[in-house]
């Protein structure tokens, strides 16, 4: 059969389906009819020398002409059609990794070639979200042993790019399950680079939170650097803090995370493969993993932390990575600000040794920097924290941080939002609890992270005594409308900061 029977002209649907390629066709178009395509069919589209496997959504009204196929943003990006391009549509062959997926679902152990086939099909978009969900579920808990974790990590590495920094140690840090406001990374990078080490740090933007490290850093310097620009910053200053999205270190992991996030299974094997594949791809040689432990943190107990730690160390060893784990307190938020500019302000006040700098953020950054210095080759173990503290006190860390910002494109002092309004205590008493989830929601309603200066400034901590009429926290916003959204929500939920009046 000639290809012309299954051709349609391509148009852009303008619909964002978050990385998942979708193609829209009219129910009555000749391709749906001759190929027997119906809603949710997986279809192969070829245009020029590119192809994509996409999920079909069927248009049943007259919004779409019969001779066109509309592509979601993800499908459009992969096919990159020229003007008036056509695509040929057909049924894709079953993915090469289908037998491996099936074997894992039915409880069999997989080997390196199986994981390689699975990760290759993952990055080539040949597995649907429900197939990826099946793989993730079949690998949850004890279903992925340590050897399989190692094989999966190696497979993730193999289907992506790996940065080569030449000889010498490359340090890195990662926090498993972050806390609100826990913006230690810029401080740690500044200290470690000031100590003379190489630390090329990539960070993420906010996904569901009011700010990611990349968002906070972007208030002070450009972060969307490509690989070559990142390399020249690190060659000059030893360290950088850039957005990982423009470097695409572990494309397989980026796709798995899309499905893992809504499932929220926190499986040790997946965490280890995700973190270590990214660190190895980044060319790191010595890595510190910060594991906050607490009843509402990702890792809830010392026993769970010990299991995760053992798997991290075994996998790092197999990859030839030096690795150390620091368990930290996962009970409370860290720092004052929530939102990009407010968190950047906290970071700078710590680096500047301001008397009013948040003590908890400073202390935690020194713990992590110290532990990382202890991992580095040639370190006198146990001396790291003192070295870190000295570099911070002396202003060396601040100098290094400003130099890194300069190398990334220039330092900017964080701005302040034009609209700031306090939320007041409606009674006198002691702070019993803080609802971090709702506090983060107020910061988002106020505009964070879209509006960099928006967010929350909160100096209240559990145990503090407070008078009725005193401010509990301040809302920062870029527009009166956003300020109102946030304040409306705050007054509808007066117990976000819970004040106990009894003894």
Instruction: Cite the active site residues.
Output: 266
Cis omega (within 30 of 0) on the bond before 209? no
Q: What is the DSSP letter of 356?
A: T
24, 115, 401, 419: residue in contact with its own copies (rule CB under 8 A): 24
Question: Which 8-state DSSP code applies to residue 81?
Answer: P
Shortest Cβ distance from residue 254 to its own copies (Å)? 14
Identify which of residues 214 and 288 has a Cβ nearer to its own copies in the complex: 214
Tell me which of 73, 121, 343, 360 binds its own copies, using CB under 8 A.
Answer: 73
Residue among 7, 8, 10, 20 that touches its own copies (CB under 8 A): 20
DSSP readout, 281-334?
HTT-SEEEEEEEESTTSSB-SHHHHHHHHHHHHHHHHHHT-EEEEEEEE-SS--
Nearer to its own copies, 185 or 270 (CB): 270
Shortest separation between residue 262's beta carbon and its own copies, angstroms = 6
| C-alpha to C-alpha distance for 53 and 124, rounded to whole angstroms | 8
Q: Which stretch binds its own copies (CB under 8 A): 364-372, 377-385, 408-416, 486-494?
A: 486-494
Applying CB under 8 A, the site for its own copies has a residue count of 61
Least Å distance between CB 496 and its own copies? 13
How far is 45 from 162, CA to CA, in rounded Å? 30
Exactly one of 44, 133, 310, 319 binds its own copies (CB under 8 A); that residue is: 133
Contact flag: residue 461 with its own copies (CB under 8 A): no
Residue 209 vs 324, nearer CB to its own copies: 209
Task: List own/partner pairs for 363-370 with CB under 8 A and 24 or more apart.
Answer: 364/182, 364/184, 364/328, 364/334, 365/184, 365/187, 365/188, 365/191, 365/392, 366/191, 366/392, 367/326, 367/328, 368/173, 368/184, 368/188, 368/288, 368/290, 368/326, 368/328, 369/187, 369/188, 369/191, 369/192
Q: Does 47 bind its own copies (CB under 8 A)?
A: no
DSSP 138: H
Q: Binding residue for its own copies (CB under 8 A) from 106, 166, 228, 502?
A: 106
Contact call for residue 27 and its own copies (CB under 8 A): yes
Contact between 5 and its own copies (CB under 8 A)?
yes
Residue 221 in contact with its own copies, rule: CB under 8 A: no
Tell me the two tokens of residue 437: 């989830």
Q: Which residues pair with 26 in a beta bridge?
A: 59
Name the minimum Å distance from CB 176 to its own copies.
Answer: 18
CA terminus-to-terminus distance, the chain: 83
Asked if 295 is part of the footprint of its own copies (rule: CB under 8 A), the reply reads: no
Among 128, 182, 315, 408, indicate the residue that binds its own copies (CB under 8 A): 128
Q: Is 142 in the site for its own copies (CB under 8 A)?
A: yes
Q: Is 445 in the site for its own copies (CB under 8 A)?
A: yes
434, 315 Cβ separation under 8 angstroms: no
Which one among 316, 485, 496, 497 touches its own copies, defined by CB under 8 A? Answer: 485
243 scored as a contact of its own copies (CB under 8 A): no
Between 132 and 497, name the residue whose CB sits nearer to its own copies. Answer: 132
Q: How many residues does the chain have?
A: 503
Only one of the segments 124-132, 240-248, 389-397, 415-423 lies at the binding site for its own copies (rule: CB under 8 A); that segment is 124-132
Q: Which of 105, 229, 313, 379 binds its own copies (CB under 8 A)?
A: 105
Q: Is 103 in the site for its own copies (CB under 8 A)?
A: no
Kindly tell me which residue out of 68, 123, 137, 245 binds its own copies, with binding defined by CB under 8 A: 137
492 is an interface residue for its own copies by CB under 8 A: yes
Helix (H) / strand (E) element for 397: namely helix 396-408
Question: What is the rounded distance in angstroms from the CA atom of residue 373 to the CA atom of residue 367?
Answer: 10
- Residue 173 binds its own copies, judged by CB under 8 A: no
How many CB atoms lie under 10 A from the CB of residue 488?
12
Stretch that binds its own copies, among 122-130, 237-245, 317-325, 460-468 (CB under 8 A): 122-130
Query: Does residue 144 bind its own copies (CB under 8 A)?
Result: no
Residue 208 within binding range of its own copies, rule CB under 8 A: yes
Closest listed residue to residue 297, CA positions, set 308, 288, 312: 308
Whether the CB-CB separation of 210 and 449 falls below 8 Å is answered with yes
Angstrom CA distances, 415 to 106, 341, 342, 344, 452, stand at: 55, 7, 9, 10, 8
Phi, psi of 418 (to 5 degrees): -70, -25
Stretch that binds its own copies, among 100-108, 312-320, 336-344, 396-404 (CB under 8 A): 100-108
In the complex with its own copies, the residue whose CB is nearer, 105 or 158, is 105
Q: Between 165 and 489, name the residue whose CB sits nearer to its own copies.
A: 489
- Please, how many CA atoms are within 13 Å of residue 214, restricted to the half-sphere of its CB? 17
Q: Is 18 in the site for its own copies (CB under 8 A)?
A: yes
Residues sharing a CB contact under 8 Å with residue 63, sequence separation 6 or more, in sequence order = none
Angle at 158 between CA 155 and CA 159, to 5 degrees: 95
The helix/strand/coil state of 476 is strand
Which residues make up the interface to its own copies (CB under 8 A)? 1-2, 5, 12-18, 20, 24, 27, 33-34, 36, 38-40, 42, 57-63, 72-73, 102, 105-107, 128-134, 136-138, 140-143, 208, 258-259, 262-263, 265, 441, 444-445, 450, 485, 488-489, 492
């Amino acid at each position: 059969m000639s290809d012309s029977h299954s051709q349609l002209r391509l148009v852009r649907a303008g619909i964002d389906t978050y990385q998942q390629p979708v193609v829209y066709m009219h129910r009555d178009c000749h391709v749906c009819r001759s190929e027997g395509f119906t809603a949710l069919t997986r279809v192969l589209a070829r245009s020029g020398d590119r192809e994509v496997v996409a999920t079909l959504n069927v248009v049943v009204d007259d919004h779409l002409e019969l001779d066109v196929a509309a592509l979601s943003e993800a499908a459009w990006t992969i096919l990159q059609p020229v003007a008036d391009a056509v695509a040929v549509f057909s049924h894709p062959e079953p993915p090469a990794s289908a037998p491996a997926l099936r074997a894992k679902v039915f409880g069999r152990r997989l080997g390196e070639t199986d994981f390689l086939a699975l990760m290759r099909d993952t990055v080539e978009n040949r597995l649907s979200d429900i197939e990826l969900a099946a793989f993730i579920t079949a690998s949850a808990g004890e279903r992925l042993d340590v050897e399989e974790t190692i094989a999966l990590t190696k497979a993730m590495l193999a289907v992506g790019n790996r940065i080569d920094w030449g000889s010498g140690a490359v340090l890195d840090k990662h926090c498993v399950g972050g806390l609100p406001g826990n913006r230690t990374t810029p401080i740690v990078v500044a200290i470690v680079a000031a100590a003379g080490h190489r630390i090329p740090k990539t960070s993420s933007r906010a996904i569901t939170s009011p700010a990611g490290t990349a968002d906070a850093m972007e208030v002070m310097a450009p972060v969307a650097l490509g690989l070559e620009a990142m390399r020249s910053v690190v060659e000059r200053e030893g360290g950088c803090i850039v957005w990982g999205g423009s470097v695409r270190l572990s494309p397989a992991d980026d796709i798995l995370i899309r499905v893992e996030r809504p499932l929220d299974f926190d499986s040790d094997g997946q965490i280890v493969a995700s973190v270590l594949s990214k660190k190895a791809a980044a060319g790191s040689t010595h890595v510190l993993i910060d594991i906050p432990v607490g009843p509402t943190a990702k890792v809830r107990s010392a026993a769970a932390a010990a299991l995760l730690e053992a798997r991290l160390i075994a996998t790092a060893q197999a990859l030839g990575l030096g690795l150390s784990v620091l368990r930290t307190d996962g009970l409370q938020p860290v720092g004052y600000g929530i939102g990009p500019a407010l968190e950047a302000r906290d970071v700078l006040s710590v680096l500047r040794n301001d008397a009013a700098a948040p003590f908890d953020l400073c202390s935690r950054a020194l713990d992590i920097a110290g532990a990382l210095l202890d991992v580095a080759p040639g370190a006198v173990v146990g001396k790291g924290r003192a070295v870190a503290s000295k570099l911070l006190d002396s202003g060396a860390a601040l100098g290094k941080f400003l130099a890194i910002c300069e190398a990334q494109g220039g330092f900017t002092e964080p701005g302040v939002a034009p609209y700031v309004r306090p939320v007041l205590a409606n009674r006198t008493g002691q702070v019993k609890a803080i609802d971090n989830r709702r506090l983060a929601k107020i910061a988002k309603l106020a505009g964070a992270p879209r509006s960099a200066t928006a967010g929350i400034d909160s100096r209240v901590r559990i145990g503090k005594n407070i008078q009725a009429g005193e401010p509990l926290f301040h809302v920062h916003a870029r527009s009166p409308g956003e300020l109102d959204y946030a304040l409306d929500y705050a007054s509808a939920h007066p117990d976000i900061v819970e004040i106990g009046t009894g003894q």
